Amino acid sequence: MALNRLNDVLRQSVGALEQEGRRKGAEAVVVGVLPPEGERGPRYLLAGYGDKPFIRMNSNSYLGLSRHPSLKQAEEEAIERFGVGPGAVRFISGTYAPHVELERSLAAFHGREAAMIFSSAYATVLSVVVPLTTDQTVLISDELNHNCIINAVRLARPLEKLIYKHLDLESLEQALQKAAAMGARRVLVISDGVFSMRGSHAPLAEIAQLVNHYDPQFAENAILVVDDSHGVGAFGATGRGTEEYTGAQADILIGTLGKAFGVNGGYVVGSSDLITYLRETAPMYIYSNPITPGEAAAALAALNLLQTEEGQQRLQHLTAMTERFRQGLRALGYASFAGVHPVVPLVLGEASQTNRMAAFLREQGVLATAIVYPVVPKGEASIRFQISAEHTRADVDEVLGILQAAR
């Protein structure tokens, strides 16, 4: 069958994105990585740019572990032992020893009874929220939550869906009161730990206090669900994320292996009853392959490394480089959001200006991404810089110098 008429519509849609400054365009293709040399960190080579080196300021690899020798060795040994793929979904034939060991270690790392890994954090959020939602459940979500939470709420079929104003505790309390007045048996309050477009974090202690206060009004509990994919490994004194930074604990915590840990996959930690239930009901666990045994082994190596002296030094260096960059932006007079996380947005406000800045940075050898509506609200178009433990003082100062020239 022909797609000629549909293709016309699709081209028009992409053209409209182009005119509005919202088209993402072709992806950069990394063809090589130059190792650190002297005072500079690694540089990246892109297809179409020859030998021109780029400093990468748009990666979630906060601890810079993706090429670490211990992770590569762990993955290579697991591949040699088990092969390159899991072969099937886990309940059929896809569970290997590295999967089980990683889940045990993640549960221990977060002080929970059990853990469960998925192919991604996005899949984890969908596979946690939807199975826990009944027709007597109310879902309450922060208005700036990540797209994975937005779509999980859309896919679920609750009694009601309520959105509270970003980090507004009064708005959250009103939503909890409304849920109680409806006679809901269960309520899920869902929030990002770190909001990935702003680098700001949720006040989990205050949110948890509110949720606990209203918990007796729901027969099946008021439950705090936190996706801390950008927090774990990059935030908190020992890298345990927003929970550690705020001194609070969620009822259900979701994280990723694909950001600070430098590998791939997502996970959830919680009670043993919760994890047992999700293994029986989570669609993207039951019907989708897990991460490979090699990836699980590499992720476990990353988790173990974080808890060593080297890992803690990387975390401390990341914190120092983040503060250096934030101070430099302020000194140059650029607008940003307050925070201490390695996500540091340079807020320009207007999409076309933001896209021009991203193009200028690339010309100068800096990889940084323009973030525009609908990824962020209108008027908040930004260049999202992401600091990594791979960055040196010289790297940070080089980028700040380029930004000074851009003024």
Q: Give yes or no: 72 in active site.
A: no
CA 264 – CA 258 distance, rounded (Å): 4
Among 68, 99, 259, 391, the one annotated catalytic: 259
Is 112 domain-assigned?
yes
Kindly state whether residues 299 and 324 are assigned to the same domain.
Answer: no
| Domain match, 321 and 179 both | no
Task: For residue 16, report the phi and psi dihedrals to the nearest 5 degrees.
Answer: -65, -40
What is the tally of structural domains in the chain? Answer: 2
Helix pair 169-181, 204-214: axis angle to 10 deg: 20
Spatial distance between the Cα atoms of 41 and 51, rounded to a whole number of angstroms = 16
Shared domain for 257 and 124, answered yes or no, is: yes
Domain boundary among 259, 276, 307: 307
Q: Can you give the pLDDT at residue 1?
A: 61
Give the whole-angstrom CA distance, residue 334 versus residue 302. 35
Tell me if 122 is assigned to some domain. Answer: yes
272 has catalytic annotation: no
Are 163 and 119 found together in one domain? yes
Q: What is the pLDDT along the chain (407 residues), one digit of tens a residue?
A: 689 889 999 999 999 988 887 787 788 899 999 999 999 999 999 999 999 999 999 999 999 999 999 999 999 999 999 999 998 999 898 899 999 999 999 999 999 999 999 999 999 999 999 999 999 999 999 999 999 999 999 999 999 999 999 999 999 999 999 999 999 999 999 999 999 888 899 999 999 999 999 999 999 999 999 999 999 999 999 999 999 999 999 999 999 999 999 999 999 999 999 999 999 999 999 999 999 999 999 999 999 999 999 999 999 999 999 999 999 999 999 989 988 999 999 999 888 889 899 999 999 999 999 988 888 888 888 999 999 999 999 999 999 999 999 88
Prior bond of 290 cis (ω within 30°): no
Residue 290 shares a structural domain with residue 372: no
Shared domain check, 44 and 89: no
Range of the domain at 161: 69-307
Which residue pairs from 81-86 have beta carbons closer than 8 angstroms and sit at least 24 positions apart in sequence?
81/293, 82/293, 82/294, 83/293, 84/292, 84/294, 85/289, 85/292, 86/289, 86/290, 86/291, 86/292, 86/293
Residues 241 and 326 in one domain: no
Flag whether 328 is in a domain.
yes
Is 9 a member of any domain? no
* Same-domain pairing of 276 and 395: no
> Do 199 and 326 share a structural domain?
no
- Indicate which residue of 99, 230, 317, 341 is catalytic: 230
CA distances from 107 to 96, 104, 196 (A): 17, 5, 24
Of these residues, 119, 120, 196, 200, which one is catalytic? 196
Out of 255, 283, 307, a domain closes at: 307
Domain annotation covers residue 216 = yes
Q: Which residues, including other chains, have CB under 8 Å from residue 318's CB and lie 6 or more apart?
A: 62, 63, 234, 342, 387, 388, 389
| 61 catalytically annotated | no
Q: How many CB atoms lie within 10 A of CB 132?
A: 23
CATH number, domain of 340, equals 3.90.1150.10
Amino acid of residue 181: A
